């Protein structure tokens, strides 16, 4: 399946300097360090900083919080993979990193979509009363908001950013457990990715590319 990191590599191709917010599981970072000459990562967890510091010659890991990080450096690409649904003030994060873009630079954003097809179906049949409702699992993962594709677009515009590209990463018609029980052909999953790219309003997760506006 397509991932946020794969889209970043696809659309950021040719960039010399890339800034990524957070290490996470290291999957996106592994894609980035093999695709860009210089990668800078801001990470708040000391343990992860120590684990990744010096691991790759073209990766520089800086310990710091997204909300306060600053640097005189400017970047052709900035990645925010599934960050904005966790922070207290996503608009403030966007405005801060807008300043760190090089001329012509882009910010790549991955976020969940409150109006995912499976959530729309759940609401339609009475299993979900509000598309913005978060589950206990969502809260355990630190999610602070669910926004629709249009609401994310409005937030980006309010932060002074222009949406260059809006795509879905994956179309999820049912819950993860239900999909797993269907034993679907691998080609079906490829189709769900392809349709999601063209139909972000219904996708489970979104890829948003923005610039200075």
The predicted-structure confidence for 137-189, as pLDDT tens digits, reads as follows: 888 888 999 999 999 999 999 999 999 999 999 999 998 889 999 999 999 99
Region 55-81: mean pLDDT is 97
Region 77-98: mean pLDDT is 97
pLDDT digits (tens, 9 = 90+) for 115-140: 999 999 999 999 999 999 988 888 88
Region 1-13: mean pLDDT is 89
Residue of higher predicted confidence among 83 and 136: 83
CA gap 48, 182 in Å, rounded: 37
Region 36-53: mean pLDDT is 96
Beta bridge partners of 60: 40
Beta bridge partners of 20: 41, 79
Region 89-113: mean pLDDT is 97
Q: What's the pLDDT score for residue 188?
A: 94
Q: What's the pLDDT score for residue 2?
A: 59
CA gap 117, 181 in Å, rounded: 18
Dihedral of CA atoms 177, 87, 11, 196 in degrees, nearest 10, equals 30
Within 10 angstroms of residue 188's Cβ, the number of other Cβ atoms is 10
Residue 27 per-residue DSSP state:
H
Q: What's the pLDDT score for residue 18?
A: 98
Query: What element of type H or E holds 176?
Result: helix 176-181
């Amino acid at each position: 399946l397509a991932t946020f990191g794969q889209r970043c590599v696809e659309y950021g191709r040719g960039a010399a300097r890339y800034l990524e917010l957070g290490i996470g599981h290291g999957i996106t970072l592994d894609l980035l360090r093999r695709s860009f000459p210089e990668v800078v990562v801001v990470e708040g967890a000391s343990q992860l900083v120590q684990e990744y510091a010096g691991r790759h010659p073209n990766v520089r890991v800086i310990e710091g919080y997204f909300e306060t990080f600053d640097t005189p450096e400017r970047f052709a690409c900035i990645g925010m993979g599934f960050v904005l649904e966790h922070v207290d003030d996503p608009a403030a994060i966007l405005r801060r990193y807008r300043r760190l873009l090089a001329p012509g630079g882009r910010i790549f954003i991955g976020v969940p979509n409150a109006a995912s097809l499976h959530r729309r179906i759940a609401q339609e049949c009475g299993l979900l009363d509000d598309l913005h409702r978060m589950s206990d699992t969502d809260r355990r993962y630190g999610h602070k908001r669910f926004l629709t594709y249009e609401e994310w677009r409005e937030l980006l515009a309010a932060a002074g950013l222009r949406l260059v590209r809006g795509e879905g990463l994956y179309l999820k018609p049912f819950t993860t457990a239900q999909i797993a029980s269907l034993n679907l052909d691998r080609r079906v999953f490829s189709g769900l990715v392809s349709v999601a790219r063209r139909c972000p309003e219904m996708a489970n997760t979104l890829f948003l590319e923005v610039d200075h506006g």
